[in-house]
C-alpha cells in the first residue's frame, strides 16, 4: 500500500475514533464540516485562490437525518478502508451502487454519495484519489509539443509526445495525474490554451493552431473534470506554462473560468491543488459580441439570474468581470465560440485568437 493511501486510511480511522470517543463520553456523535457556499469562501492571498472560510456546519446524530448521514459516513469509510487494503479502486458510480447493500444507510441518488465523498476530503485533508475513488467519465484531451511520462499498470514508464505520438484526437488525460502516475518531459510550447467545446478544440487542431501558435491545446469538455484542472495546474506551476482560457460567451462559461482560475465553490477545499490563479480569459466576452458583430441568442431567464448572482459572487469582484457581466445583461445577448464561423472556418485561428492573444502578449 502506497504511503498516500495508508495516510488516507489513517485519517478515516481517526474520524471513526472520534465518533467512538463521543459515544463513550455519553455525547451525541457529530462531525463539523466547512459550509460549502459562496458566503463562506475567502481569498487566500498566499495561495492566490478562494478557500472555505471559518463557517462550519454540524452533522449530528441528534436527529434521524443526521444520524443516517453519520451511519453512511461510517459505511463509506469502512468501504474505502477495505478497498484500499485489497488494492482495489472504485468509480464514484460503483460506490453509489455498493450502498444498495448498506442496511438503513443506502443513498437516495448518486449526488448524495458524491457529496459525502467530497465531505471526506474536507475533514481529512486528503484527495479523492488518495481514497482510490475515480470518476466515471472519460478524460479530456490535449495536443501539442509536450512529452508526457506515464507510468503503466506494470510500473514501466512510457514517454508520449502529445503532438507526434498521438492522432488528431490527442492525448487523453487519465483520472490520476499526480506525480506517481504522470510527469513531464520535453516541453516545446509557449503557453496552454484551454478550450470549452469539442467542436472548437477540433477546429484548432485541424487548422494546426498548436503548431502555428506553439501552444498546448486542452479540451475542457464543458465544466472540466478535476483531473483536467489538476493537469493544467501542474503544467502552470511546475513547468511555468502560462494559461489562457477560451470559452463560450455566457454566464455558465464564466463559471467554468472561475473554477479553472479561482476554484469552484463545491471544491474550494481543493483550490490550491486545482485552481490556476494566473489563468487569463480570452473570450468570448460581451465586448466581443459587439466588437466582432457575432451571431447571438437572447439571454434566458436562468441566464439573467446566473449573471446577477455572479455580480454578487466574490470571485467575479473585479472591474473586468463586472463590466463584462453588466454589458451582457444590458445587450441581453450571449454567443457561442462557433459564432466566429460567421467569417469562415479559419477566422478563429487567423484573426480572432491572434488578436486576442496578442493583447495578452501570447502571440
Max Cα–Cα distance, the chain, nearest Å: 73
| Alpha-helix residue ranges (DSSP H) falling in the chain | 3-24, 64-85, 92-98, 110-124, 198-206, 209-212, 226-239, 251-261, 271-274, 286-291, 301-312, 319-331, 347, 353-360
> Please, are residues 193 and 215 in contact by the beta-carbon 8 Å criterion?
yes
C-alpha cell at 22: 463521543
C-alpha to C-alpha distance for 327 and 332, rounded to whole angstroms: 8
Return the ∠ at Cα 179 (arms to 118 and 202), rounded to 5°.
80
C-alpha to C-alpha distance for 280 and 103, rounded to whole angstroms: 49
Which residues are the active-site residues? 97
C-alpha to C-alpha distance for 3 and 165, rounded to whole angstroms: 33
Return the ∠ at Cα 66 (arms to 60 and 67), rounded to 5°.
90
Return the ∠ at Cα 181 (arms to 49 and 15), rounded to 5°.
60
C-alpha to C-alpha distance for 258 and 265, rounded to whole angstroms: 9
> Please, are residues 52 and 272 in contact by the beta-carbon 8 Å criterion?
no
Amino acid at each position: 500500500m502506497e504511503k498516500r493511501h495508508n495516510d488516507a486510511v489513517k485519517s478515516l480511522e481517526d474520524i471513526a475514533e472520534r465518533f467512538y470517543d463521543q459515544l463513550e463520553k455519553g455525547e451525541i456523535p457529530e462531525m463539523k464540516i466547512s459550509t460549502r457556499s459562496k458566503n463562506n469562501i475567502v481569498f487566500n492571498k498566499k495561495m492566490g485562490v478562494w478557500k472555505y472560510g471559518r463557517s462550519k456546519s454540524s452533522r449530528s446524530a441528534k436527529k434521524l437525518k443526521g444520524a443516517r448521514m453519520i451511519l453512511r459516513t461510517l459505511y463509506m469509510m469502512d468501504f474505502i478502508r477495505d478497498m484500499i487494503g485489497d488494492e482495489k479502486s472504485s468509480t464514484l458510480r460503483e460506490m453509489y451502487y455498493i450502498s444498495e447493500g448498506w442496511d438503513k444507510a443506502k443513498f437516495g441518488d448518486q449526488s448524495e454519495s458524491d457529496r459525502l465523498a467530497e465531505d471526506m476530503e474536507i475533514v481529512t485533508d486528503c484527495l479523492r484519489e488518495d481514497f482510490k475513488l475515480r470518476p466515471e467519465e472519460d478524460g479530456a484531451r490535449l495536443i501539442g509539443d509536450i512529452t508526457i511520462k506515464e507510468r503503466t499498470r506494470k510500473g514501466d514508464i512510457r514517454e508520449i509526445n502529445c503532438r507526434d505520438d498521438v492522432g488528431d484526437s490527442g492525448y487523453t488525460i487519465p483520472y490520476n495525474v499526480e506525480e506517481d502516475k504522470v510527469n513531464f518531459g520535453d516541453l516545446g510550447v509557449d503557453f496552454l490554451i484551454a478550450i470549452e467545446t469539442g467542436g472548437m478544440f477540433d477546429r484548432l487542431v485541424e487548422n494546426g493552431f498548436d503548431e502555428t501558435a506553439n501552444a498546448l491545446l486542452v479540451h475542457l469538455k464543458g465544466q472540466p473534470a478535476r483531473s483536467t484542472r489538476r493537469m493544467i495546474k501542474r503544467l502552470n506551476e511546475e513547468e511555468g506554462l502560462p494559461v489562457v482560457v477560451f470559452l463560450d460567451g455566457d454566464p455558465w462559461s464564466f463559471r467554468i473560468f472561475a473554477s479553472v482560475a479561482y476554484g469552484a465553490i463545491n471544491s474550494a477545499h481543493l483550490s490550491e491543488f486545482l485552481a490556476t490563479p494566473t489563468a487569463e480569459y480570452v473570450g468570448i466576452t460581451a465586448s466581443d459580441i459587439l466588437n466582432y458583430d457575432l451571431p447571438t441568442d437572447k439571454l434566458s431567464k436562468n441566464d439573467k439570474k446566473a449573471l446577477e448572482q455572479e455580480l454578487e459572487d466574490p470571485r467575479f469582484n473585479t472591474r473586468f468581470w463586472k463590466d463584462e457581466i453588466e454589458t451582457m445583461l444590458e445587450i441581453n445577448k450571449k454567443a457561442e465560440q462557433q459564432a466566429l464561423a460567421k467569417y469562415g472556418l479559419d477566422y478563429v485561428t487567423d484573426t480572432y485568437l491572434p488578436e486576442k492573444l496578442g493583447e495578452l502578449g501570447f502571440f
